[in-house]
């Protein structure tokens, strides 16, 4: 007899027996109200986050909830990065959680929250069940992500494979975010008798991320035959935007509940025991936004939370009459309102009349204050200052960059005087190839277009002129003048200049950049996508040379898988050229 071959079958039999014993001894109720609390915490604001949690619990109790589920590390905000290593911060979290736990002695709903937690002297990313006036159970994150924007292995210890948590007659199989992306944790919970899978998350928005989460959830349900509840946080944190979109799946993988994306929601569900399976009685499914709307709403939410959570009174933008600054201004107005957005037009002798008119029309459409400050005097002053040193040298990009830096200096002076944050308006295409001026148009405290390619900028501008999401504070009608969208892009730093004087057409440039950045293809592999060999080589060189500029750019909203910064970390000193 082949005994080794019998081992997997014996394990499955033992797990099935354990599940039957657990189900017969623990399930003492046939109905459970579970509320998905999709809230917007702020990193470091422990008291503020706890107040939001308490308020959501009150709402859930009114709806008849037995359990309220919150997101990953909701007590301290996610991601806390190295802040979580401070012992005084950890102590404040413990005090806050213990105080919150005491409130659950009132007979109301239990609370499942995420928090950093010490166990035997080690720091873990934990899920805590608060019920009956105490911390009744602790589960520790097993799978720690260490890629892209995540580096949890440097601050947390990986927990063991967990077992389910008994709660009012039900066995809850609790996972923490990344735990759902692999089969081991769900398998451990299923085999030890869980009745329902619950995932608490801090999962940031990326294009196509919602479908990917759902696919992993379906895989876990298919393997375990258990329903799954997925609760994600919402809101902006530095460069990350959390889109919420919490959901629940039945044991048959059907979608039974889905919360709105990019909005705080407290979604009540009621589950009924039908035979051996828990089923959701009340289906509440919110339609998800399409790709362009999701991208735009991520930009609005990211900017709004960066401005408001950092207590800036408003936003300052250099409005040039071009599409990047026009779209940035529209996003700013949609995020914080026209009364908190101040635009400045800074014409040079090379600024066209239509740019002046377009900037004025843009400001009129979105209802913002527009001041005009010509920079010719500043240009003349620099010419006089540098004339003796530059004698014998012809005009070149040096003088063009002086214009951009005069504008940057002007914006920063206004920012210093009035406290408004300067919004940089460069897009991902320009930042990729270095088509930007350090300490000039790159200056600013934040950028909403940092991870948005130029072709997408055009698409978003057209979309916003036809749509206005309910969360936006700007005009119900057109926000960007049509001529700004249709005219050739230009930096207007010299006569008759257009971007395509020095760059490939943006449709080509963005296609090549997606190959080199998002897919990390070689030059040869990119050429196989029907791009011209010399164009790909040229873009490759520009991309590598511009790394030092990107390191000095402001933070901005992440919307793709490979945003510049923590997603894509290249050495500044780099002689690798591939096969160029």
Question: Could you list the active site residues?
Answer: 72, 141, 177
Helical (H) or strand (E) element with 12: helix 3-26
Closest by Cα among 157, 175, 180 to 165: 175
Q: How far is CA 161 from CA 156, 174, 175, in A?
A: 15, 11, 10
Integer Rg of the chain from CA:
27
DSSP H helices, 350-396, are 353-366, 376-390
Burial of 579 (0-12, 13-18, 19+ CB in 10 A): exposed
> ∠296-487-473 over CA atoms, to 5°?
30
- Dist CA 580 CA 578 (whole Å): 6
For 564, which DSSP code?
B
The 3-state DSSP class for residue 488 equals: coil
- Dist CA 2 CA 461 (whole Å): 67
Q: Are 262 and 471 in contact (CB under 8 A)?
A: yes
Phi (first) and psi of residue 357, to 5 degrees: -65, -40
- Dist CA 469 CA 281 (whole Å): 30
């Amino acid at each position: 007899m082949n005994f080794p071959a019998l081992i997997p079958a014996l394990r499955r039999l033992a797990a099935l027996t354990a599940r039957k014993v657990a189900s017969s001894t623990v399930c003492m109720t046939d109905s459970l109200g579970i509320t998905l609390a999709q809230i917007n915490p702020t990193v470091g604001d422990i008291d503020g986050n706890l107040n939001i949690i308490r308020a959501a619990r009150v709402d859930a109790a009114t709806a008849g909830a037995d359990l309220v589920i919150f997101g990953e590390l909701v007590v301290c905000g996610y991601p806390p990065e190295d802040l979580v290593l401070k012992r005084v911060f950890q102590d404040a979290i413990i005090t806050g959680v213990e105080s919150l736990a005491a409130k659950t002695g009132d007979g109301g709903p239990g609370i499942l929250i995420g928090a950093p937690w010490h166990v035997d002297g080690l720091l873990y990313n934990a899920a805590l069940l608060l019920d009956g006036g105490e911390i009744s159970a602790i589960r520790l994150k097993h799978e720690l992500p260490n890629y892209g924007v995540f580096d949890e292995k440097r601050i947390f210890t990986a927990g063991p494979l967990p077992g389910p948590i008994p709660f009012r007659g039900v066995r809850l199989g609790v996972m923490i975010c990344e735990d759902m992306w692999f089969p081991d944790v769900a398998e451990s919970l299923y085999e030890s008798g869980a009745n329902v899978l619950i995932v608490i998350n801090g999962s940031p928005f990326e294009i196509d991320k919602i479908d990917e989460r759902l696919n992993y959830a379906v895989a876990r349900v298919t393997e375990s035959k258990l329903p799954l509840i997925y609760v994600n946080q919402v809101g902006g944190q530095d460069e990350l935007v959390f889109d919420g979109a919490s959901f629940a799946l039945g044991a048959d993988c059907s979608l039974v509940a889905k919360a709105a994306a990019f909005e705080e929601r407290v979604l009540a569900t009621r589950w009924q025991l039908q035979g051996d399976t828990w089923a959701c009685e009340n289906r509440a499914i919110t339609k998800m936004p399409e790709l362009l709307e999701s991208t735009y709403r991520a930009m609005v939410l990211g900017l709004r939370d960066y401005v408001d959570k950092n207590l800036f009174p408003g936003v300052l933008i250099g409005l040039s009459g071009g599409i990047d600054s026009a779209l940035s201004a529209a996003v700013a107005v949609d995020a914080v309102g026209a009364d908190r957005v101040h635009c400045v037009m800074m014409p040079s002798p090379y600024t066209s009349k239509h740019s002046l008119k377009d900037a004025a029309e843009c400001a009129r459409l979105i209802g913002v204050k527009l001041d005009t400050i010509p920079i010719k005097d500043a240009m003349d002053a620099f010419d006089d200052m540098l004339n003796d040193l530059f004698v014998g040298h012809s005009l070149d990009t040096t003088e063009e960059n002086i214009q951009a830096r005069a504008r940057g200096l002007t914006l920063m002076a206004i920012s210093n005087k009035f406290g408004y944050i300067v919004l940089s308006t460069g897009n991902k295409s320009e930042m990729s190839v270095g088509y930007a001026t350090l300490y000039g148009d790159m200056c600013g405290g934040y950028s909403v277009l940092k991870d948005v390619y130029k072709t997408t900028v055009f698409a978003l501008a057209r979309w916003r002129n036809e749509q206005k999401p309910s969360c936006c504070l700007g005009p119900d009608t057109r926000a960007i003048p049509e001529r700004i969208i249709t005219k050739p892009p230009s930096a207007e730093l010299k006569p008759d200049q257009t971007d395509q004087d020095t760059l490939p057409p943006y449709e080509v440039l963005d296609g090549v950049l997606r190959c080199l950045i998002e897919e990390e293809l070689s030059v040869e592999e990119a050429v196989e996508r029907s791009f011209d060999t010399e164009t790909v080589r040229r873009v490759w060189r520009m991309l590598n040379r511009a790394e030092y500029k990107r390191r000095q750019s402001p933070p901005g909203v992440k919307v793709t898988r490979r945003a510049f910064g923590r997603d894509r970390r290249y050495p500044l000193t780099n002689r690798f050229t591939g096969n160029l």
